């Protein structure tokens, strides 16, 4: 089975200087001299890629735009920054999937930390391990099962801890146990023995397991700079609470107390909808791990950045100019209404890749004529809270009047914005196609994917972007599966 995780860090050649300022700005400043930052939520498209690779049409919930964004480096160039989080803007004009002209606003997220000298906060980790039968604990180490993937990842994370960190283990199956009481992570041999002793334990009472984990974590507050529950699971609860809303409420309450949650969804049986619901909340993120080669890749790319939030409650309030409206936001984790002028990301984490949020705007028609998209404009108010509680606010004015448009009807202030728009439309179109397929409307799904494939092929060619070229194959394969009437993976894989 080939590796389904695609870590794409191709840096686009930037042709123009950003038309924007920089918020809470850093040490190096400027493109090429900064580290990355990404919004919380699901950090990859692992389940969708795995199911497509196995010849299945993924469920619609397996297509989070923020997951695709987090797999790519999406830098926005601009003035040097002077704080830990830098938010810049870049603009573009391009048609949507239906060919209607739209204005686009990219918010680029980066950080000014130096990864070579960065000292992460001390951690108290409450490793919460699903030992239920669906995890495959009895299949042995020769097969990639959710259990073997969880053990490998847990061992690697524990080995990264130092004397200032703390560690504990909670397990859940039919019953819940605190298998390793919280203590300083100094005796690695003892920690390793505790991890190696884990084995199967019946049904999947994830509610009881998380409640115990959050209780242990609450008692750890003040023992380390950051207290974080790491949940290792295939996210298939079948005892106690099972709905996304119930787990979202529980996770939100823990976050309000100062406890973070990172979900490691393991195996193609992954319950993506439930993982999405927990990961978009304050202090939350999630990663999918489909096969053994994903584990070292994940550690190399994301440790310790996955446990390093740098901002909370990023609010983006857009006030469009007259006859202009906000159509949608892309990459904002969690639910948001189409056309909402206020968009939110609950947490921003450090990352090796520079993240993006994207806003789509349109001009309104009048009785006399259509308003040209170039006349669109907006005031953008950014606000967020640093981890020490300090509020930050930034107000930017953006416009599209000076945009140069090519023969395709596209114009981008920076090359990265072209990539960001292309990825957002691709993932959104794939999700709509999967929804139609779920509803039994195969004709609509085929038509939708034809539009998606044509658009990503054209964008990859016009922008000469290797990162987009790599994604063309994903769209092409999904289109083929839908046309052939392939089975659709459920939220639990098959």
How many whole angstroms separate alpha carbon 328 and alpha carbon 316? 12
Q: Give the pLDDT confidence score for residue 340 in this predicted structure.
A: 67
CB-CB contact of 57 with 5 (8 Å): no
* Interacting residues of 402 by C-beta distance below 8 A, sequence separation 6+: none
| Structure tokens belonging to residue 376 | 């669109």
Q: What pLDDT shows up at residue 18? A: 30
Rg (CA), the chain: 22
Can you say how many angstroms the Cα of residue 10 is from the centroid of all Cα atoms in its chain? Answer: 18
441-to-60, 435, 436, 458, 482 alpha-carbon distances in Å? 14, 9, 5, 26, 11
Q: Find where tokens 């923020």 sit.
A: 66
- Does 73 score more than 60 pLDDT? yes
Q: What is the pTM of this model?
A: 0.89
Distance, CA of 87 to CA of 395 (rounded, Å): 11
pLDDT value for 141 = 63
- Inform me whether the pLDDT recorded for 27 exceeds 50: no
pLDDT tens per residue across span 35-62: 999 999 999 999 999 999 999 999 999 9
Query: Which is more confidently placed, 128 or 279?
Result: 128
Q: Which residue has the higher pLDDT, 308 or 3?
A: 308
For helices 466-483 and 442-463, give the axis angle rounded to 10 degrees.
Answer: 160
pLDDT in tens, 146-164: 999 999 999 999 999 999 9
Instruction: Note the pLDDT of residue 379.
Output: 93
- CA-angle at 347, arms to 343 and 351, nearest 5°: 115
Alpha carbon 66 to its chain centroid, in Å, reads 4
Residue appearing with tokens 């001299």: 33
If one compares 363 and 97, the residue with the highest pLDDT of the two is 97
Q: Which residues of 9-19 are buried (b: 16+ CB within 10 A; e: fewer)?
A: eeebebeeebb
**pLDDT(13) > 60:** no
Q: What is the mean pLDDT of the chain?
A: 87
- Cα dihedral: 330, 335, 341, 346 (round 10): -80
Q: What residues form DSSP beta bridges with 183?
A: 167
The pair of three-digit structure tokens given for residue 199, joined into one six-digit string: 């084995």
C-alpha separations of 111 from 29, 37, 91 in Å? 9, 6, 20
State the average pLDDT over residues 302-317. Answer: 95
- Gap between the Cα atoms of 326 and 376, Å rounded: 10
Q: Which two tokens stand for residue 96?
A: 């949507």
Burial string for 96-128 (b: 16+ CB within 10 Å, else e) reads beeeebbbbbbbbbbbbbeeeeeebebbbbbbb
**How far apart, in whole angstroms, are the C-alpha atoms of residue 438 and residue 452?**
18
d(CA 235, CA 334): 18
Q: Specify which residues 169 forms β-bridges with.
A: 127, 180
CB 52 within 8 A of CB 292: no
Task: Report the pLDDT value the prediction gives residue 339, as an integer from 0 to 100.
Answer: 64
For residue 142, name the pLDDT band (cuts at 50, 70, 90). Answer: low
**N-to-C CA span, the chain:** 17
Instruction: Specify which residues 370 forms β-bridges with.
Output: 365
Q: 3-state DSSP helix/strand/coil percent for the chain, to nearest 5?
A: 30, 30, 40
The Cα 332–Cα 323 span in angstroms is 25
Mean pLDDT of 84-96: 95
Confidence of residue 268 (pLDDT cuts 50, 70, 90): confident
- Position 9 scores a pLDDT of 32
User: What residue ranges define each of the domains in the chain, with the CATH number in brackets?
Assistant: 35-116+309-483 (no CATH), 123-304 (3.40.50.410)
Answer yes or no: are the C-beta atoms of 416 and 356 closer than 8 Å: yes
Report helix, strand or coil for 348: strand
Q: Do residues 38 and 11 make contact, with C-beta atoms less than 8 angstroms apart?
A: no
Distance CA 326, CA 226 (A): 37
pLDDT of 261 strictly over 90: yes
């Amino acid at each position: 089975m080939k590796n389904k995780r695609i870590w794409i860090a191709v840096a686009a050649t930037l042709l123009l200087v950003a038309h924007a300022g920089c918020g809470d700005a850093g040490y190096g400043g400027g493109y090429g001299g900064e580290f990355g930052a990404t919004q919380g939520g699901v950090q990859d498209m692992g389940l969708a890629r795995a199911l497509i690779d196995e010849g299945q049409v993924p469920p619609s919930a397996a297509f989070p735009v923020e997951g695709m964004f987090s797999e790519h480096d999406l830098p926005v160039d601009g003035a040097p920054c002077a704080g830990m989080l830098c938010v810049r803007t870049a603009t573009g004009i391009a048609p949507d999937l239906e060919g209607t002209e739209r204005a686009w606003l990219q918010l680029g997220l980066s950080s000014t930390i130096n990864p070579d000298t960065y000292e992460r906060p001390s951690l108290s980790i409450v490793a919460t391990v699903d030992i239920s039968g669906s995890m495959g604990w009895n299949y042995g180490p020769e097969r990639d099962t959710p259990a073997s993937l969880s053990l490998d990842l847990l061992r690697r994370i524990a080995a990264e801890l130092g004397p200032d960190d703390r560690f504990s283990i909670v397990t859940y199956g039919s019953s819940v146990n605190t298998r390793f009481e919280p203590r300083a992570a100094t005796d690695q041999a003892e920690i390793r023995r505790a991890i190696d002793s884990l084995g199967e334990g019946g049904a999947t009472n994830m509610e009881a397991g998380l409640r115990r984990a959050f209780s242990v974590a609450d008692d750890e507050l003040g023992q380390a700079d950051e207290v974080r529950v790491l949940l290792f699971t295939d996210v298939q609860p079948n005892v106690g609470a099972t709905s996304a809303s119930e787990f979202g409420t529980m996770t939100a309450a823990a976050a309000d107390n100062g406890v973070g949650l990172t979900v490691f969804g393991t195996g193609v049986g992954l319950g993506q909808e439930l993982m999405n619901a927990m990961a978009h909340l304050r202090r939350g993120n999630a990663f999918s791990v489909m096969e053994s080669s994903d584990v070292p890749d994940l550690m190399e790319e994301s440790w310790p950045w996955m446990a390093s939030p740098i901002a909370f409650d990023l609010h983006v309030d857009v006030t469009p100019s007259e006859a202009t409206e906000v159509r949608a936001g892309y990459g904002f984790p969690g639910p948001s209404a189409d056309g909402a002028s206020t968009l939110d990301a609950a947490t921003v984490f450090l990352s090796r890749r520079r993240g993006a949020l994207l806003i789509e705007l349109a001009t309104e028609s009048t009785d006399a004529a259509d308003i040209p998209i170039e006349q669109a404009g907006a005031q953008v108010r950014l606000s967020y809270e640093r981890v020490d509680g300090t509020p930050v606010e930034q107000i930017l004015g953006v416009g599209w009047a000076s945009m140069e448009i090519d023969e395709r009807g596209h114009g981008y202030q920076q090359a990265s914005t072209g990539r960001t728009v292309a990825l957002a439309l691709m993932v959104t179109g794939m999700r709509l196609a999967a929804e139609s397929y779920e509803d039994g409307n195969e004709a609509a799904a085929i038509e939708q994917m034809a539009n998606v494939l044509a658009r990503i092929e054209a964008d990859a060619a016009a922008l000469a972007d290797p990162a987009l070229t790599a994604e063309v194959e994903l769209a092409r394969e999904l289109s083929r599966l839908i046309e052939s009437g392939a089975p659709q993976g459920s939220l639990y894989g098959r």
